[in-house]
Structure 1
Amino acid sequence: MGILRLTSFMDENPQILKEFQLHDTKLVIDGKNLLHLIFEGSKINKKRGGDYDRFACEIVKFFSILKACNIKPYVLFDGGDDPSDRKFNTKLRGLRERLEKAMRISSGQSKKNNVMPILAYDTFKSVLFEINVPFNVCDFEADEEIAILANEFNCPVLSLDSDFYILPINAGYIPFNSVCLEPQEGKRWNNSVYHYLPARIYYVDSFATCFHALGRNVLPLIALLLGNDYVDREIFYPFFSSLRFCKYEQQFNIPDFFPKMRKLISWLNSLDTYDEGIQKILSSACTSEDKETILSAINITEKAYTLDNKSLSTEKILQISNNGLTIPSWVLNFHREGRLPSELIKILQSRRNFLKPQIEDITSPSSYQCCARLRKYVYCILLSEDVGNAGVQSSLDNGTEANGKCAVEEYDRKGYELVKKVVCPIKNAKIFDMLPKLSEIHTLLPTVREKTVRLALDIPLFNIFHLSKDLEFILGIVLFWKKNAQPNATENHLRSVLVCLIMLKLTSIVRRGSTGHEQNLIDDAVLGMPVKARKQINMRLLMFSHIRDDRLDSNLIHGFAQLQACFKTAMDLNFLLLCPFPTPCIYQIFSGTFLYNFVVELWKRRNPDMFVCELLSKNSDLPKVYEILYSAVMNSLL
């Protein structure tokens, strides 16, 4: 959600907010907002497909700053789509805008545009789990639950969303851009020292009391008339056309380029009651149909921005998907705990999957095409009750048209355009019988669920000593990518991926030391080296983690975009099956700048394998580990 121009208005009127020292408190954080703000505010490279290792460090750094000020964060994320489907066009518009940005970046036409990497959210949640920051995923949009939780805790909200200027949050709303993330030192009355973050805080009454007659009733009127994601602003065009500029108290600074806001503030100050305002808005309707639309908008807005008698202790209900079937309770619970991707809930609700465009070669097929077959397994399990009831049998690969209950609309790139494709997850009887139904997954043995992942990815028996299950899963995904990439992922792409795995493990141990949980052949090789040798090799590898050239070869980066699509789909399948394989930490697997620079370097080398072995030092076991992993993948392609 978001209210048009309200943030700009508040920026022009800083007197509405108050200076504030943020410390020694609980703090409810808008997770989606924070994810974007940390990503946008960091200095990491944003055009190589995702430096997740550095992004993870930025996340840890942020929460370390909060801890230094004794701030206890609680993070809430958006979940499923609004069941009314009112935001469908908004989502499509956002997807098209993302595609345009990605195209400009990949073609070298833009230095300012950024595109959030598709595994950033998974990285964020993974880091929160690791550093024990409590978080939950809401059933739908998080704004209302954020406000309710903050009121239950009697603590502020941290976000950068104009909705929080309207929602009645008792302990205040802190705009993220008002916070200085450099802790300051203060002293209490007894001379004890505390640390705080300088910030500015907003209280609804500081704004509402400026409208003496209306008080807090002014808030939903502002949300309604300025427009939000649930309301078509054009319906109020006749209303604003009927308003005339009048004199109003100059308690606000409203620039000339905000004529709509000037009219609105003047009109609001002229009202005696909320009902009077509603009647005047309704009287501007040109037709009875417009009047019904306005009434609907009023009801939606009042409901969205009123928290009276709402509590998180009330049982949440998200039992019905759009086709009328019940979503199993275990699915809802795992989703709320962040252990089941929201994309899966959205597919259950709406039978749609929005595939976020990546920075890739626009002249090649979409990076998601290489894992289309894998997504069919995900759809088939998600819609298993529908599929079974339909009684339709066809080839997994060839698929036939099915009724709407058994199909998923995929929105993906085709060339320069966003297109819809209806994907039928129906499969032949043999494969269908091997896949679990959604309602029974939580009752199955881990071995049964693991077998399903192996079937979907076609994971072979890797003949590798001391191969942990998480590394086996990663190799299975890499092999799937190598088999299915279109255009093909080159051997230099594969070499870069395997060296990146080694580099990130080496960097982790050099910086943080052994965790005591190391359990595979990469760990053995790194821990078996002298500390000095580790650091030397790490320094050589890290040279490829820095930007060398702003130019971008979209052909090279396309292979890694396909790998990310494979990781995303395979991890979603693993989550859906309750993680029979340990969930990989993306920031320990994928570093976009390193991968891009390294594959560029390999193309310059006459003997890439010799270069890799020399880089990893012939005096360590790392070259041997690299050769084992490389051979395991290549031999499985035969």
Structure 2
Amino acid sequence: MGVQGLTSLIKDNSHIYRDVQFRDSRLVVDGSNLSFHLYCTAGLDQTYGGDYAAYENLIERFVKALRGCGIQPYTVKNGVSIFQCDDHTDKKLETKKKRAKARIQTAHKNSQGWRNGAIMPLMCISLFRQTLVRLEVPVVRCFLEADREVAALASDWKCPVLSNDGDFYIFDLPAGLLPIPHFQWQKAAQRRYVPCKKYTASGFCSFYNIQRRVLPAFAVLAGNDYVKLEDMGVSLRLEHPVRAPNISWRRSHLEALLCWLGDFQEPQEALVAALKLMGEVSREKEAEVLQRLSVGMEEYQLPPSALGRFFTDGTVPPLPPKDQGLVPDWIRLPFTEGRLDKVILNVLRLRRVRLPSMVEHGRLTSSHLTSRPIRQEMYGLLLGEEEVEEYDREGLLLTSRRVRVLMEALEVEPSCFQGVEPHLRLLVAVTCYWMQNASPTPDLELQHALLLGLVAAHTIQHVDELLSDVCVVALQVKNKNATQSPVYFVAHAFNQWQSCVMVSMQLNQLLGFPLPEPQTTVTNSIIKSLMLCGSNCLLLMFSRLCGGKLFHQLVHRLWGGVHPELLLTRTPSSLELYRTLLAAVQQPQHRRTTHSLEDLTANLEQLNLPDKDKEAARSAAHQPKNPSI
């Protein structure tokens, strides 16, 4: 993100940073950036389908470390997905398409055992927010991209930002930026402060002898996610000093640009002068370039924060003016609180969705195809007869297609929930759907492995019991391959299930939670007790949401001839639950009773009203529409 090459430039001139002992302060956290960094730098699984419990434990330890130093984090997350754009001009769309194409290639290579990039498992985003809410860490989701809101809130509160996004090197933050890679929170317990490095725009400008007001001009002339000179068919012809062999052209160009900007006091003055360094261009072209550069600089002008009052007294930020005719007002509160997924806002605003990449072989069809009927149901509730443009992959190519709405998703009859506790019902319904619609159809071993995983997700007690039994059987079964490598079609089946879970949770949110969301909690005592089972059983430790490693391990055990109930013989309660789930998913499946679009959409606003307003809304709904009748 941000100016390409700027982070590396600052890293090579590390004395721009100042060492600090951070404690006793508010901290505005770039949530999207932190969630990715925590998972992908901890060595957690990206191949089997996700180390969800390990990730949850990591988040808990991070929050505990901050609180032990008197640091109060306030987490701000993006309101647009990684492929959406923050306005209707799509000025970042091409940049994000390139990144999406790169992720498809990375996911394919990672499925073959390569490690040339990071792909977050599908449920990590939901788990990150859910864990923070459980730990009572304030979390808010923006309607647009979070960068400006994060910077504006930190500016109002005079506290630092925690992020690894290069855009924060340009914002003039009063308390500066704490780059995540230098934020040594793991050392906080012994010291009661977090050793870290602090960046300030004033320190950067002093080092390069330029005015702070000129930094936005530097960003747009160097090229960022919003504006690039090459996209406008022009280039900046600067005199580069002779560079050392180990210095890249990009770094040399940035340093030459910074040196040149030292002669200017105001950013607009620099932009006008830059036009003379672009060769022979027409007046019309000059006007176009100047206008686009000027608009690009506006991204770094901070408005008053719309989030401060939400954190202090619950005042919900208004919708952006351009969206007030597209997004119903009742969405504001549940969306800001995170009770509605960001995909809902993106569908309403842009009619565009990018489906997250998953680690899977490019020769297989996208796992998201299985969950498409569920998404169609959600699109229908939101848009009626309109279309949504979905971006996914076909093989290794980024593709898009128009998805018609109002097509019924295949669902189960309520009778299948007999005996199933409420917090497992959504996962049971999704599993029924997955067994009928996954391609290829999951074999019995895969089906039984997933049900065993759901037993593990039932309660803390059952997790302990099941994993203990699996450990015993693992020692009894003479398997020459103690640590099996992932099988790509097993990973593909699990990815299809996760995709169905993700979309079903989004639809469940939209409908006002007719089914409770699955819980994803874990305790340190269970983790410590499982460590005693030996290294061969470490693959089984983290089983939240039917963790990917547990799923693969169970499949291998069942392929080896182990009967699924053998894993549960020592724990009658788990065996009973397994049989209940098996009976539920083996019932004949039927489409649910079809309701009209008007019936369903009429309930959406009421479902998301505060509790005190719901009764009034229900009463109003039952009043005659025509008083004369």
C-alpha separation in 2, matches of 1:24 and 1:418: 46
Kindly report which structure 2 residues correspond to 1:572-611, keeping only aligned pairs within 5 A, or say none: 572-585=506-519, 588-605=544-561, 608=562, 611=563
C-alpha separation in 1, matches of 2:374 and 2:232: 46
Kindly report which structure 2 residues correspond to 1:403-442, keeping only aligned pairs within 5 A, or say none: 406-426=386-406
C-alpha separation in 2, matches of 1:260 and 1:159: 25
Change (3 A) 1:210 1:407: same
Change (3 A) 1:133 1:540: farther
Equivalent pair of 1:77/1:142 in contact (CA under 8 Å) = yes
Change (3 A) 1:232 1:23: same
Equivalence for 1:370: 370
C-alpha separation in 2, matches of 1:590 and 1:535: 12
- For residue 554 of structure 2, what is the amino acid of its counterpart? F
Kindly report which structure 2 residues correspond to 1:225-374, keeping only aligned pairs within 5 A, or say none: 225-234=221-230, 240-241=236-237, 243-245=238-240, 258-271=251-264, 273-285=266-278, 286-307=281-302, 312=307, 316-318=318-320, 320-321=322-323, 325-374=325-374
Query: Given the two structures, how large is their TM-score scaled by the length of structure 2?
Result: 0.81
Equivalent pair of 1:47/1:114 in contact (CA under 8 Å) = no
Say whether residues 1:205 and 2:210 are aligned partners.
no
Change (3 A) 1:622 1:141: same
Shift of 1:216: 1.2
Equivalent pair of 1:138/1:145 in contact (CA under 8 Å) = yes
Query: Given the two structures, how large is their TM-score scaled by the length of structure 1?
Result: 0.80
Q: Secondary structure at the match of 1:621?
A: helix
Shift of 1:335: 1.2
Shift of 1:8: 0.9
Unaligned residue ranges in structure 2 (runs of 5+): 310-316, 522-543, 591-629
- For residue 94 of structure 1, what is the amino acid of its counterpart? R
C-alpha separation in 2, matches of 1:534 and 1:235: 57
Equivalence for 2:596: none
Shift of 1:363: 3.0
Equivalence for 1:397: none
Equivalence for 2:214: 218
Say whether residues 1:177 and 2:181 are aligned partners.
yes
C-alpha separation in 2, matches of 1:491 and 1:156: 53
Structure 1 counterpart of 2:501, from 560, 567, 570: 567
Change (3 A) 1:620 1:2: same
More moved, 256-265 vs 91-100: 256-265
C-alpha separation in 1, matches of 2:473 and 2:389: 43
Shift of 1:624: 2.5
- For residue 576 of structure 1, what is the amino acid of its counterpart? L
Equivalent pair of 1:79/1:141 in contact (CA under 8 Å) = yes
Equivalent pair of 1:172/1:202 in contact (CA under 8 Å) = yes
Change (3 A) 1:290 1:630: same
Equivalence for 2:14: 14
Change (3 A) 1:258 1:495: same
Kindly report which structure 2 residues correspond to 1:482-501, keeping only aligned pairs within 5 A, or say none: 482-501=435-454
Q: Secondary structure at the match of 2:293?
A: helix
Say whether residues 1:195 and 2:199 are aligned partners.
no
Q: Secondary structure at the match of 1:209?
A: helix
Q: Secondary structure at the match of 1:462?
A: helix
Say whether residues 1:155 and 2:87 are aligned partners.
no
Q: Secondary structure at the match of 2:370?
A: helix
C-alpha separation in 2, matches of 1:151 and 1:272: 23
Shift of 1:462: 2.2
Change (3 A) 1:103 1:308: closer
Shift of 1:475: 0.7
- For residue 494 of structure 1, what is the amino acid of its counterpart? Q
Equivalence for 1:121: 125
Shift of 1:256: 7.0
Equivalence for 1:191: none
C-alpha separation in 2, matches of 1:267 and 1:343: 43
- For residue 604 of structure 1, what is the amino acid of its counterpart? G
Shift of 1:419: 1.7
1:244-264 Cα shifts (integer Å, max 9, x gaps): 24699xxxx977762202311
Q: Secondary structure at the match of 1:139?
A: coil
Equivalence for 2:569: 617
Shift of 1:167: 0.5
Q: Secondary structure at the match of 1:423?
A: strand
Change (3 A) 1:156 1:97: same
Shift of 1:120: 1.1
Equivalent pair of 2:449/2:554 in contact (CA under 8 Å) = yes
Shift of 1:67: 1.3
Q: Secondary structure at the match of 1:363?
A: coil
Change (3 A) 1:211 1:268: same
C-alpha separation in 2, matches of 1:361 and 1:237: 37
Equivalent pair of 2:76/2:141 in contact (CA under 8 Å) = yes
C-alpha separation in 1, matches of 2:549 and 2:482: 9
C-alpha separation in 2, matches of 1:344 and 1:542: 43
C-alpha separation in 2, matches of 1:479 and 1:49: 20
- For residue 223 of structure 2, what is the amino acid of its counterpart? G
C-alpha separation in 1, matches of 2:474 and 2:161: 38
C-alpha separation in 1, matches of 2:231 and 2:397: 30
Change (3 A) 1:283 1:619: closer
C-alpha separation in 1, matches of 2:231 and 2:18: 35
- For residue 205 of structure 1, what is the amino acid of its counterpart? S
Shift of 1:3: 1.2
1:374-400 Cα shifts (integer Å, max 9, x gaps): 11110000103xx3xxxxxxxxxxxxx
- For residue 464 of structure 1, what is the amino acid of its counterpart? Q
- For residue 582 of structure 2, what is the amino acid of its counterpart? Y
Equivalent pair of 1:69/1:183 in contact (CA under 8 Å) = no
Equivalence for 1:439: none
Shift of 1:152: 2.0
1:495-549 Cα shifts (integer Å, max 9, x gaps): 111211222446x34xxxxxxxxxxxx6xxx8xxxx9x788437548999xx954
Q: Secondary structure at the match of 1:43?
A: coil
Change (3 A) 1:460 1:617: same
Equivalent pair of 2:214/2:264 in contact (CA under 8 Å) = no
Equivalence for 2:415: 461
- The number of aligned residues is 548
- For residue 537 of structure 1, what is the amino acid of its counterpart? D
Equivalence for 2:581: 629
Equivalence for 1:477: 430
- For residue 265 of structure 1, what is the amino acid of its counterpart? L
C-alpha separation in 1, matches of 2:389 and 2:364: 22
C-alpha separation in 1, matches of 2:64 and 2:509: 28
Equivalent pair of 1:168/1:306 in contact (CA under 8 Å) = no
Change (3 A) 1:60 1:419: same
1:262-305 Cα shifts (integer Å, max 9, x gaps): 31122122335544322211334512343233223322232111
Equivalence for 1:448: none
Equivalent pair of 2:367/2:496 in contact (CA under 8 Å) = yes
C-alpha separation in 2, matches of 1:256 and 1:619: 65
Equivalent pair of 1:246/1:266 in contact (CA under 8 Å) = no
Shift of 1:239: 5.0
1:141-170 Cα shifts (integer Å, max 9, x gaps): 111111111122221110011111110111
C-alpha separation in 2, matches of 1:185 and 1:419: 48
- For residue 105 of structure 1, what is the amino acid of its counterpart? N
Q: Secondary structure at the match of 1:461?
A: helix
C-alpha separation in 2, matches of 1:261 and 1:624: 66
Equivalent pair of 2:470/2:567 in contact (CA under 8 Å) = no
C-alpha separation in 1, matches of 2:510 and 2:340: 6
Equivalence for 1:2: 2
C-alpha separation in 2, matches of 1:7 and 1:541: 50
C-alpha separation in 1, matches of 2:467 and 2:394: 45
